[in-house]
Amino acid sequence: MTLDALVIGGGPAGLMAAEQIGRAGYRVHLAEAKPTLARKFLMAGKSGLNLTKVEADFTAAYRDDWITGYVDAFGPEAVQDFARGLGIELFTGSTGRVFPVGMKASPMLRAWIGRLVGLGVEIRTRWCWRGFAGDDFLFDTPQGQVSLRPRISVLALGGASWPRLGSDAAWVPWLADKGVQIAPFRPANMGFVVHWSPHMQRHFGTPVKGATLITDGGVTRGEFVISARGIEGGGIYAVSAEMRDGSPLALDLAPDLGADQIAERLARLPAKESLTNRLRKALHFDALRIALLNEWGRPLPQDPAALAALIKSLPVHHAGPRPIAEAISSAGGIARAALSPDLELRALPGVFAAGEMLDWEAPTGGYLLTACLATGHRAGLAAARHLAA
């Protein structure tokens, strides 16, 4: 079966690419392996859909410079205009993060699907790509195996995180066999394993607030959570790439006080006071902060200056990242060298790629979704130009 355009992957990058091709007047088939579209997008929206972020240097958050050109062309302002064009009212929080007023992803997705259908995009769910047969794309479908040979195609299959939602990286060997260079996948925006002592169990599920995280790259303020599996949450995700790549992590448990101030406050209290009481009275430390000191700083020094130094830089001992299947996103994928500036695969002319299957990395906070939309936008426009040539 022949057709103008085939888009494989029904997440934000694939939907955006399909829209651009459909707007150019071409017949588009969009194939999604799961029963419904954009499952990861919907899951991300369960706690409030963070579309993008308004800040002076948005692209500085990306670890890979090559991706920033696409984000410059379709960045936070364009993402907001796109959402408003779907009838979604937005608001910007105190940190610059942009959310739908209703906070959920499902209204936006429903409106988007409606617009795609209006453009003539034919959506096929439960169509699972199984690789190539010559120049054809093979799919397992509810009606049996189907072979397609589109004039152009866009791959937007996701990376390797959250495979239960569809991003299982099954495509890697099929593209590698065609000569496409692929960087190994690694977890990104993930928690880290900690083998806690029994005394920490009562703190599982408790957030660590008001501390700063110290890595080789600098100092970051952010909240994170103590869990039975280790440490996770926004503060950890912000430094997870550095940690994964070898940076040590330390905590400043009293970032608003200098070491001299801490030592002076501790020294004021009688030595007969227990160390726990001195920490509570002098520094107003809660049970969790004291527990973390005991977990990672034992034996605790009695000298006020030495204890102050430990409080200002408490080493975090962990056993490495959680598995990639639990990560919010992944690093790795189709290498920059394998792509043209228009995101066409050099080894497969007429085949474009977008989204998290490309080798780029960013923290949470709107950066991931913005880059997926931006690369989908570029790939879709380029595919439409290819058809018109």
Four-residue CA torsion sign, 125, 126, 131, 137: negative
Residues 247, 123 within the same domain: no
pLDDT > 90? residue 3? no
Between CA 183 and CA 172 the distance in angstroms is 10
pLDDT of residue 48: 86
Long-range Cβ contact pairs of 86-94 (< 8 A, separation 24 or more): 86/111, 86/112, 86/115, 87/111, 90/51, 92/54
Nearest to 332 by CA among 307, 303, 299, 357: 357
Q: Which structural domain, as residue segments, surrounds residue 207?
A: 192-315
Q: Which of 286, 315, 344 is the last residue of a domain?
A: 315
Q: Which of 255, 282, 315 is the last residue of a domain?
A: 315
Residues 27, 175 within the same domain: yes
| CATH classification at residue 343 | 3.50.50.60
pLDDT of residue 389: 86
Q: What share of the chain is helix, strand, coil (3-state, %, to 5)?
A: 40, 25, 35
Q: Has residue 324 been placed in a domain?
A: no
Residue 336 has a CB neighbour count (10 Å cut-off) of 14
Residues 95, 131 within the same domain: yes
Record the tokens describing residue 141, joined without a space: 């479908």
Amino acid identity of 72?
A: D
Residues 257, 378 within the same domain: no
User: Structural domain tally of the chain?
Assistant: 2
Label each residue of 334-387 as H, E or C: ECHHHECCCCEECCCCCEEECHHHECCCCCCCCHHHHHHHHHHHHHHHHHHHHH
Quick: pLDDT tens for 126-182. Answer: 999 999 999 899 999 999 999 999 999 999 999 999 898 889 999 999 999 999 999
pLDDT of residue 2: 61
Distance from the Cα of residue 113 to its chain's centroid:
23
Residues 55, 183 within the same domain: yes
pTM summary value: 0.93
Between CA 117 and CA 120 the distance in angstroms is 5
Quick: pLDDT tens for 180-230. Answer: 999 999 999 999 999 999 999 999 999 999 999 999 999 999 999 999 999
